[in-house]
Amino acid sequence: MVRLNSHDQREMDKAKDLIDTGPTTEMGFVRNLFFGRLRLDKVLPYPVQDEAEAKRTKSLLRKLDVFLDLSVNPDWIDRHQEIPDRVIRGLASLGVFGMTVPQEYGGGGFSHTGYCRALERISRTCASTAVLVGAHQSIGLKAIVLMGTEEQKQRFLPKLASGEELAAFALTEPEAGSDAANVQTTAVLEPGSDHWTLNGSKKFITNGALAKVMTVMARTPDPANPGRTKVTAFIVTPDLPGFEVVRPNRDKLGIRGTWQAELRFNNMYVPTDRVLGEVGKGLKVALGVLNYGRCTLSAGCLGAAKVLLEMAVRRATERKQFGRRLGDFQMIKQKIARIAQLTFAMESLTYLSAGMVDRHEDDMMLETAITKIFCSEALKEIADETLQIWGGEGYMADHGIERMWRDGRINTIVEGATEVMTSFVALMGMKGVGEEFEEVLHAITHPIGNMGRLAEFARHEWSDVLVGHHADGLHPSLHREGDELAHQTRSLARCVTRLLAGHREKIIDMQLLQKRIAWATINMYASTAVLARLNWMIGKAESNGGVEHIAQDLAVGTSFCHDAADRADRLLDDLFHNRDNETIAVADKVLGFDEEKADESHEGDEDDD
- Tens of pLDDT, residues 467-476: 456 788 999 9
Contact assessment for residue 161 and residue 107, using Cβ atoms and an 8 Å cutoff: yes
Residue 415 annotated among the catalytic residues of the structure: yes
Higher per-residue confidence, 38 vs 24: 38
- What pLDDT is recorded for position 564? 98
Higher per-residue confidence, 224 vs 295: 295
- What pLDDT is recorded for position 525? 98
Closest CA to 287 of 181, 132, 130: 181
Alpha carbon distance, N-terminus to C-terminus of the chain: 30
Q: Taking residues 63-69, what's their average pLDDT?
A: 98
Tally the C-alpha atoms within 13 A of residue 95's C-alpha that lie toward its C-beta: 19
- What pLDDT is recorded for position 16? 53
Let me know the angle formed at the C-alpha of 426 by 422 and 432, rounded to the nearest 5 degrees.
Answer: 150
Residue 390 has pLDDT above 90, yes or no: yes
Contact assessment for residue 212 and residue 165, using Cβ atoms and an 8 Å cutoff: yes
Distance (Å, rounded) from C-alpha 279 to C-alpha 188?
Answer: 11
Cβ count within 10 A of residue 44: 16
* 3-state SS, one letter per residue, for 550-604: HHHHHHHHHHHHHHHHHHHHHHHHHCCCCCHHHHHHHHHHHHCHHHHHHHHHHHH
Q: Where in the chain is the domain with CATH 1.20.140.10?
A: 17-44+420-578
* pLDDT tens digits for range 89-129: 999 999 999 999 999 999 999 999 999 999 999 999 999 99
What is the 8-class DSSP label of residue 256? T
Query: What backbone torsions phi and psi does residue 239 show, to the nearest 5 degrees?
Result: -85, -5
Distance (Å, rounded) from C-alpha 285 to C-alpha 144?
Answer: 10
- What pLDDT is recorded for position 2? 43
Q: Where in the chain is the domain with CATH 1.10.540.10?
A: 51-162
- What pLDDT is recorded for position 324? 97
Q: Taking residues 308-316, what's their average pLDDT?
A: 98
Confidence grade of residue 596 (pLDDT, cut at 50, 70, 90): confident
Residue 7 has pLDDT above 80, yes or no: no
Cβ count within 10 A of residue 578: 13
Encoded amino acid at 36, one letter: G
Q: Taking residues 355-376, what's their average pLDDT?
A: 96
Q: Rg of the chain's alpha carbons, rounded to an integer?
A: 25
Higher per-residue confidence, 588 vs 179: 588
| Pairing between β-strand 167-170 and β-strand 213-221 as defined by DSSP bridges | parallel
- What pLDDT is recorded for position 493? 96
User: Please, what sign has the CA dihedral across residues 584, 587, 591, 596?
Assistant: positive
Of 43-57, 214-228, 236-250, minimum mean pLDDT range: 214-228
Which CATH architecture best describes the domain 51-162? Orthogonal Bundle (1.10)
Q: How far is CA 232 from the centre of its chain?
A: 22
* pLDDT tens digits for range 184-202: 999 999 888 999 999 999 9
- What pLDDT is recorded for position 226? 87
Residue 608 has pLDDT above 60, yes or no: no
Residues of the chain with pLDDT > 90: what percent? 80
Residue 10 has pLDDT above 80, yes or no: no
Q: Specify the CATH number of the domain 167-283.
A: 2.40.110.10
Integer angstrom CA distances of residue 412 from 17, 100, 371, 372, 487: 23, 25, 12, 8, 30
Q: How much is the pTM?
A: 0.92
Contacts of 564 (CB under 8 A, 6+ apart): 345, 523, 524, 526, 527
Q: Which long-range contacts (CB under 8 A, 24 or more apart) does 507-512 make?
A: 507/427, 507/430, 508/427, 511/419, 511/422, 511/423, 512/578, 512/580, 512/583, 512/584
Computed over every residue of the chain, the mean pLDDT equals: 91
Of 212-216, 505-509, 602-606, minimum mean pLDDT range: 602-606
Residue 179 has pLDDT above 80, yes or no: no
- What pLDDT is recorded for position 191? 86
The catalytically annotated residue of 262, 415, 461, 481 is 415
Ranges of H-type helices in 81-186:
85-94, 112-125, 127-134, 142-147, 150-162
Report the SS3 class of residue 457: helix
Ranges of H-type helices in 172-281:
none
Q: 17-44+420-578 sits in which CATH class? A: mainly alpha
Q: Where in the chain is the domain with CATH 2.40.110.10?
A: 167-283
Distance (Å, rounded) from C-alpha 448 to C-alpha 437?
Answer: 18
